[in-house]
Amino acid sequence: MEMNIALLPGDGIGPEVIAQAVKVVKAVGKKFGHTIHFEEAPVGAAAIDLTGNPYPDETHEVCLRADAVLFGAIGDPKYDNDPKAKVRPEQGLLAMRKKLGLFANVRPTFTFPSLVHKSPLKLDRIEGVDLVFFRELTGGIYFGEPRGRNEQGTKAFDTNVYSKEEITRLARMGFEAALKRRKLLTCVDKANVLATSRLWRETVQELATEYSDVKVEYEFVDAVAMRLIQWPKAYDVLITENLFGDILTDEASVISGSMGLMPSASLGTDNKLFEPIHGSYPQAAGKDIANPLGTILSAAMMFEYAFDLREEAKAISDVVNKSLAEGIVTEDIAEGGKAYKTSEVGDWLAANI
């Protein structure tokens, strides 16, 4: 197969982890006989420095041309500490999601046998956890209007808006995924308080009639925040709005033992983007110490979700498991054993595909 992949390394450790993913993707291409073209473009603080815009039009063009986008991370401390900054790197990420129509953010949580003991949670609660969030990504309070301040600047407001159509297309993806998994879907909302959540619940109830094989549960977001940590094995597929999904998926990543490990896919009708769920980790930038596995596993998701190539995806997850078992890992998970450099882990994985 011939594939065009856009590379958006972004900020902080983004360029380092993307470089490792490229090594692994090239090795997969060689092994399975695919021709893979890469085109790189700036985004985030890196793009602001170059063009003044965190998601330049040229970068958007590169993404539109590609079959899949592999994205590193966004964010720079010089903006975090300046709440008055007019342009912010994160605006680039939000603009990219919106303009590419990436309405579904798929964030799995699973455990690695050789790492379960690293989780701060008790082993019997987390061993074998396998759940996936479908987080709505282009609506809700992240994008709703009006937003801003009153004239005096003494009041601020954001608006949460959802249409039935936005809920349906996200929920449908969740139902379809549930059919291929353990057939349990949890709709996470705050329907006891929010009008948007009541529309979510109503819409999901209607859709459920088309999926009689899927068991549907409705839970309030505050209860899920608690149960997710107490009984993560009680979940299979969870669907939720943008803000709830943002918060709960960070919480869920703790289960696996390291945020550096978790991949994600952001899917739209025409475009697909793959990124680790960790941030730009500026303290580690340029030091060759960051964990590249979240990005490399995102590349595995890319083979599966963008190209429907499951064997290729499995080749990557298998080699990642092998590296964990053999201790070819970066310092965040080395635990007194030898800590390998980011680039060494990438080289090892590519050589062992």
Q: Which residue is nearest to ligand IPM (CB)?
A: 90
CB closer to ligand IPM, 85 vs 351:
85
Token duo for residue 94: 């939000």
Please state whether beta strands 156-157 and 272-276 pair in parallel, antiparallel, or not at all (unpaired).
unpaired
Q: Is 10 helix (H, G, I), strand (E, B) or coil?
A: strand
Which segment (14-22, 31-39, 55-63, 242-250) binds Mn ion by CB under 5 A?
242-250
At its nearest, how many Å lie between ligand IPM and the CB of residue 74? Answer: 6
User: What Rg do the C-alpha atoms of the chain give, in angstroms?
Assistant: 20
Q: Does 90 bind ligand IPM (CB under 6 A)?
A: yes
Angle at Cα 324 formed by Cα 249 and Cα 351, nearest 5°?
A: 115
CB closer to Mn ion, 246 vs 332:
246
CB closer to Mn ion, 133 vs 340:
133
Known catalytic residues are 142, 190, 222, 246, 250
Which candidate, 211, 71, 225, places its Cα nearest to that of 137? 71
Question: Phi and psi for 185 in degrees, rounded to 5?
Answer: -125, 130
What, of Mn ion, ligand IPM, none, does residue 93 touch, CB below 5 to 8 Å by kind? ligand IPM
- The order of strands in the sheet holding 2-10 is 35-40, 2-10, 68-73, 272-276, 263-267, 104-110, 130-136, 237-240, 184-189, 215-220
Q: Does 93 bind ligand IPM (CB under 6 A)?
A: yes
Among 219, 246, 304, 312, the residue binding ligand IPM under the rule CB under 6 A is 246
How many residues touch ligand IPM (CB under 6 A)?
4
Residues in region 67-86 near ligand IPM by CB under 6 A = 74
Which segment (39-47, 151-159, 161-169, 240-248) binds Mn ion by CB under 5 A?
240-248
Q: Does 246 bind Mn ion (CB under 5 A)?
A: yes
Q: Where would I find the H helices in 100-141?
A: 123-126
The residue with tokens 């061993």 is 127
- Applying CB under 6 A, the residues found at the interface with ligand IPM are 74, 90, 93, 246
- Applying CB under 5 A, the residues found at the interface with Mn ion are 246
